[in-house]
Structure 1
Amino acid sequence: MTTANDKKYELKLDKTKQILFAKALGSFGPSDADDFVRDYTIILKPVNAKEYELQFDCKELKVSGKDTKSGVDMTNMLKGCLEMYKKEGFKNIIFDCTKNIVLKMQLQRLCKEAGLSTATVK
């Protein structure tokens, strides 16, 4: 099962390998984040996340801050997603931020704040 939204994100569930592949691109606004959460919920619904690994490609994701159009703090929305991943109980979570040092530092801080101890940010 695969889903995408105007190339802002991709989600792919591999039931054989028990991996949810996710990829985020560019800057997210509130509607992008809402669409992602909706599609994430739909794609994950038929499986038990506790048996799955989440592999998230963040190499092309822009650092979160305030959305210029709405003024919404996207950092809080990102933290909410991390809390959602924690609640799902994935057996392992890997965020690949290769060559995106600022995002790597932001994710490490937010993972700590969200209590997401099963995450690796590389």
Structure 2
Amino acid sequence: MEKGREIEMTQKAFSIEINKATKTMEMMVSGTFTAQDYEDFVNDYVTKTSSIDASQYLLEVDCRMMDLLTPGEVDKLQGSFTRYKETGFAKVNFIVTESQSIIKMQLGRVARMAGLTNIEVIVK
């Protein structure tokens, strides 16, 4: 039982993988980001996107494990969405669950605030 707790505590708040075969950058976010998580996310994002031509790629963000956003997190998320826009992905998909209607609205609102127009929120 102790080992399971250890794994849970060390689970990252995000993952970013490049799938060159499908031309998809697959991202997963979970819980709530700490300041360190956000810094690590930005660094990992910059590293991963520097190796691809984003205009040829779909950015797919799995938000099914994400917590509701607090006002302070909205600002950070808007910064990330602005970064997605500047990177120039062909399309950005956000995946949410049926029960995440508030998160779905938050994602749409923040995307509009950041000027990110090529998005789709998909319920899975």
Deviation at 1:65, TM superposition (A): 1.0
SS at match of 1:46: coil
Matched letter for residue 58 of structure 2: E
Alignment partner for residue 38 of structure 1, among 19, 43, 51?
43
For 1:84 and 1:63, locate their aligned partners in 2 and report how far apart those are by CA, in whole Å: 21
Give the unaligned 5+ runs of structure 2: 1-9
Matched, 1:26 2:31: yes
Cross-structure match for 1:87: 86
What's the offset of the Cα at 1:7? 2.5
Question: CA–CA distance in 1 between the matches of 2:64 and 2:39?
Answer: 21
- Counterpart residue type for residue 14 of structure 1: N
Q: CA deviation at 1:89?
A: 0.8
Report how many aligned residue pairs link the two structures.
Answer: 112
| 1: CA distance, partners of 2:114 / 2:121 | 14
Give the residue type in structure 1 aligned to 2:76. Answer: M
C-alpha RMSD of matched pairs (Å) = 1.3
Residue-by-residue CA offset, 1:36-91 (whole Å, 9 max, x unaligned) = 1111111111111111000000011012215xxxxxx1210001000000011100
CA distance in 1, matches of 2:60, 2:118: 12
Q: CA deviation at 1:30?
A: 1.6
Q: What residue number does 1:61 align with?
A: 66
- Return structure 1 stretches of 4+ with deviation > 2 angstroms: none
**TM-score, normalised via structure 2 length:** 0.85
TM-score normalized with structure 1 length? 0.86
Corresponding residue number in structure 1 for 2:76: 77
Greater helix share, structure number: 2
Identify the residue that residue 15 of structure 2 maps to in structure 1. 10
Percent of aligned positions that are identical: 29
Q: Deviations over 1:79-118 (max 9, x none)?
A: 1000000011100110011231111110100111111110
